[in-house]
Chain A
Amino acid sequence: MMSLLAYRLFLDPMPVWDYWYLLIVPLCVAVAVVYKSMKCRSMSQVPLEAGAIVLWILGGFGAAAVGLMLLVNWLGKS
């Protein structure tokens, strides 16, 4: 609450320290929309195709995170 009161748009960093990991979602959406806008023949196909690719990217990141967590845990025990 205190940090929100003193926050100045663009001059201060956003107070997102506790949920920084959620910031991957808009980044993935932007990459997917631009990529699919280039690939699709018609722009009407873009929302559906971009939505699908966003899920793929987030799923891939999630799988990589779980894989790395398991690897680190295994290396820590051995």
Chain B
Amino acid sequence: MATDSRVSAVPAPLMAICGWLLPGAGYFLIGQIGRALGIGITIILLFVAGLLIGGVREIEVPGFNVDTGEKQMVTLVDPVTHRALLDSQNRPQTGWALEVSALGEIRDKPWSVPQVLAGPIAIASGVWSVHNAAADGQTMQIDPATGKLDVKTGKAPLGAISHARVNEIGSLYLSVAGLLNLMAIIDSTWRASHLSQKRKEAK
């Protein structure tokens, strides 16, 4: 069978990495093209639908301020006295949140964990989210009196942040896409190792 001959050439860890890089790619490597396309396209469509629903800024990237897109800085604290560390000018010392307390920062943005499982598309969307949070965009409002679109440049983020249910549902779509990709990675890797084992036993 074509499937079996391909399996032996692909180690399981490599399959898992390929499955993360491109949803459904793990199945492609064991020759299950239909399954690869069905699963891969569905996961990518679900992720894109999540971005459409909540807007790209619904992605909260650990280490970056949600409102400004700048690096999230935190005050450095002495681990013994629990007091803020001060510099030579008696000002509180600060550090990048991801360097000072990576776990704490990720815990503050828990949706980012399942979302990143969707692959590089999630990382690219995170970069786009941070870019769109920068305050160099345009504000657009429709004047209720005249009905005309009033565009002002500068001072506002490029992208709008979503709230309430639209934000929750968009985040849910992105996270479910990531979790489904994790399922696909596990399933394709298991299939590869299982088929490989069967092939060895048949020899």
Contact = CB atoms under 8 A, between A and B. Distances in A.
Nearest to A3: B142
Interface string A1-31: 0100110111111101100100100110011
Given A31-B176, A38-B187, A9 B142 contact: no
B86 interface: no
Contact of B45 (A8, A11, A30): A30
Contacts of A23: 53, 169, 173
Contact of A14 (B53, B163, B177): B53
Contacts of B35: 37-38, 43
B130 interface: no
19 contacts: A5-B142, A9-B52, A11-B132, A13-B53, A13-B54, A13-B163, A13-B170, A14-B53, A20-B166, A20-B169, A26-B49, A30-B43, A31-B180, A33-B42, A34-B43, A38-B39, A38-B183, A38-B184, A38-B187
A46 interface: yes
Interface of A: 2, 5-6, 8-14, 16-17, 20, 23, 26-27, 30-31, 33-35, 37-38, 43, 46
A25 to B, nearest CB: 11
A10 B59 CA distance: 12
Given A31-B176, A34-B184, A12 B159 contact: yes
Interface of B: 34-35, 38-39, 42-43, 45-46, 49, 51-58, 128, 132, 140-142, 149, 158-160, 162-163, 165-167, 169-170, 172-173, 176-177, 180, 183-184, 187
A14 B52 CA distance: 6
A34 B159 contact: no
A12 B54 CA distance: 7
Contacts of A16: 53, 166
Contacts of B149: 5-6
Contact of B34 (A13, A14, A43): A43
* Among A2, A9, A23: residue with most chain B CB under 10 A: A23
Contacts of B165: 17, 20
A6 B46 CA distance: 24
Contacts of A5: 142, 149
Given A5-B149, A38-B187, A46-B38, A30 B160 contact: no
Contacts of B158: 11
